Amino acid sequence: MNSKSKSKKEEQIKQLNEFLKTSALNIIELERTLIQTLGADDANEELDELKERIEKWDEKIEGADDGRGTYVQRMSIRKSTSSSPQAFPKKNLSPERAINFAIKSLNSSIEFFGEERDLFLSKQEAAKKTIEQKEEEWKQKIAELEQQVKEANEKRGKIEEQNEEKNKQIERLKALNDQYEEFDEEREQLNEKCQSLEARTTELEAEKETLALKCTEFEFALDEAQNRVPDLPQDDDEESNEAFDVGMLQNRIEQLETENNELSVQVDEQTDTIIKLKKEKRLSKFDDKLQGKADDFKVEEYIKRYDDLKAKHTGLQAQCRFQERRIDELEKLSATKDGAMQKLKEDRKNERENEMMKNKALEDALTAMGDERSRLLLQIQDIEDERQMLIFKCQAQQDAIVAVKKSAGLLKDVDFDPNNATMEEVNDDRERLAHRCTSLEVHIGMLENEITVLKSQSLAKDQMIKDLEQFTNTVSDEQNGSGSEGNSQGDS
Flag whether 149 is in a domain: no
For residues 319 and 91, the model is more confident at 319
Flag whether 330 is in a domain: yes
- Ranges of H-type helices in 226-308: 232-280, 282-296, 300-308
What is the C-alpha separation between 359 and 365, in angstroms, rounded?
Answer: 10
Burial of 355 per CB tally in 10 Å (0-12, 13-18, 19+):
middle
Range of the domain at 308: 159-491
Same domain flag for 443 and 301: yes
Same domain flag for 55 and 164: no
Same domain flag for 178 and 121: no
Q: Which of 119, 135, 151 is the last residue of a domain?
A: 135
Checking 68-72 for CB contacts under 8 A at 24+ apart, the result is 70/13
What is the C-alpha separation between 192 and 198, in angstroms, rounded?
Answer: 10
Classified as helix, coil or strand, 82 is coil
* Interacting residues of 291 by C-beta distance below 8 A, sequence separation 6+: 334, 338
Q: Is the pLDDT of residue 141 over 70?
A: yes
Share of the chain above pLDDT 90, in %: 0
Same domain flag for 127 and 207: no
Q: Is the pLDDT of residue 134 over 80?
A: yes
Task: Work out the average pLDDT over 193-206.
Answer: 72
Flag whether 441 is in a domain: yes
Same domain flag for 352 and 433: yes
Residue 453 confidence class, pLDDT cut points 50, 70, 90? confident
Same domain flag for 330 and 460: yes
Flag whether 150 is in a domain: no
Flag whether 148 is in a domain: no
Flag whether 46 is in a domain: yes
Q: What is the dihedral of CA 306, 309, 310, 311, to 10 degrees?
A: -160
The pTM of the full predicted model, rounded to 2 decimals, is: 0.21
Q: Is the pLDDT of residue 30 over 50?
A: yes
Same domain flag for 74 and 200: no
pLDDT tens, residue by residue, 373-414: 677 677 667 767 776 776 776 677 667 766 666 665 544 444
For residues 337 and 129, the model is more confident at 129
In the chain, the number of structural domains is 2
Nearest residue to 13 (alpha-carbon basis) of 87, 86, 98, 110: 110
pLDDT at residue 153 in the model: 84
Q: Is the pLDDT of residue 75 over 60?
A: no
Residue 220 confidence class, pLDDT cut points 50, 70, 90? low
What is the C-alpha separation between 365 and 360, in angstroms, rounded?
Answer: 9
Same domain flag for 114 and 195: no
What is the C-alpha separation between 52 and 24, in angstroms, rounded?
Answer: 11
Burial 188-209 (b: 16+ CB within 10 A, else e): eebeeeeeeeeeeeeeeeeeee
pLDDT at residue 26 in the model: 65
Flag whether 381 is in a domain: yes
Same domain flag for 363 and 231: yes
The answer to whether the CB of 69 falls within 8 A of the CB of 63 is yes
Same domain flag for 439 and 305: yes
pLDDT at residue 415 in the model: 46
Flag whether 327 is in a domain: yes
Provide the 8-state DSSP code for 83. Answer: S
For residues 468 and 342, the model is more confident at 342
